[in-house]
Amino acid sequence: MPRGLFITFEGIDGAGKSSHLATFEQWLRARGHDVVLTREPGGSELAEALRELILHRPMDALTETLLVFAARRDHLQTTIEPALARGATVLCDRFTDATFAYQGGGRGFDLDVLRTLEGWVHPGRQPDLTFWFDLDPAVAAERRAAARAPDRFERQDAAFFARVRDGYAARAAQSPARFVRIAADGELAAVWARVERAATERLG
């Protein structure tokens, strides 16, 4: 049984990635993929409990980073790796690129420490394909303002999200074969058309 595909969606809050996850899941299923749709932080019982703390309790950047990686470790062991091993396609809303963007870029946390933790928590495991929904932070802020009550990250200012975006750009530059940048401006249907075009090119 060939190992399944690991696909991630990334982008700053308000970039609109979550709107396309369900559509993309259907797109994959229509092509015969056995899809496991999951998210970070979260995606397992323990990681979902940690998600509540990460999103809503005050903490410093190191604590936040350790909790994000602790949640990821459990998520990998209980959800992601077993699914990939049985040949399923794992579609994950955020993964370690978000840690480099939010904790590394946004919080200014030490990138060398992040690389060390990444190597401990998932040696040899990276997504096969990452869709990065890239949007001007000012436009994303307008979209967020129309949405639900903000969590600790969504409450951050424009400068924070500019740094998060730069964090994603740096990460994408390091792995250009893995990243697909999706321009996330414009109508939902136009953005989906960009996702579908890129997905067809990459996955057939």
**Smallest separation (angstroms) from ligand TMP to the CB of 106:** 7
**Smallest separation (angstroms) from ligand TMP to the CB of 13:** 5
Q: Please tell me whether residue 137 binds ligand TMP under the rule CB under 6 A.
A: no
Contact present, 145 and 74 (Cβ < 8 Å): no
Name the token pair of 103. Answer: 């904790």
Rounded alpha-carbon distances, angstroms, from residue 54 to 20, 78, 147, 196:
24, 20, 20, 32
x/- contact string, 45-74, with ligand TMP (CB under 6 A)?
A: -----------------------x------
1/147 with CB nearer ligand TMP = 147
**Smallest separation (angstroms) from ligand TMP to the CB of 89:** 19
The footprint of ligand TMP on this chain (CB under 6 A) covers a number of residues equal to: 13
Is the N-terminal amide bond of 41 cis, ω within 30° of 0?
yes
102/179 with CB nearer ligand TMP = 102
Query: In sequence order, which residues have a C-beta less than 8 Å from that of residue 111 and are 6 or more positions away?
Result: 100, 104
63/87 with CB nearer ligand TMP = 63
Q: Which of residues 11-50 bind ligand TMP (CB under 6 A)?
A: 13, 39-41
Name the token pair of 44. Answer: 């397992």
| Nearest Cα to Cα of residue 43 among 75, 77, 78, 84 | 75
The whole-angstrom separation of Cα 192 and Cα 24 is 9
**Smallest separation (angstroms) from ligand TMP to the CB of 121:** 11
H helix intervals, 31-77: 45-56, 61-75
x/- contact string, 90-129, with ligand TMP (CB under 6 A)?
A: ---xx---xx--xx--------------------------
Which residues contribute to the site for ligand TMP (CB under 6 A)? 13, 39-41, 68, 93-94, 98-99, 102-103, 153-154
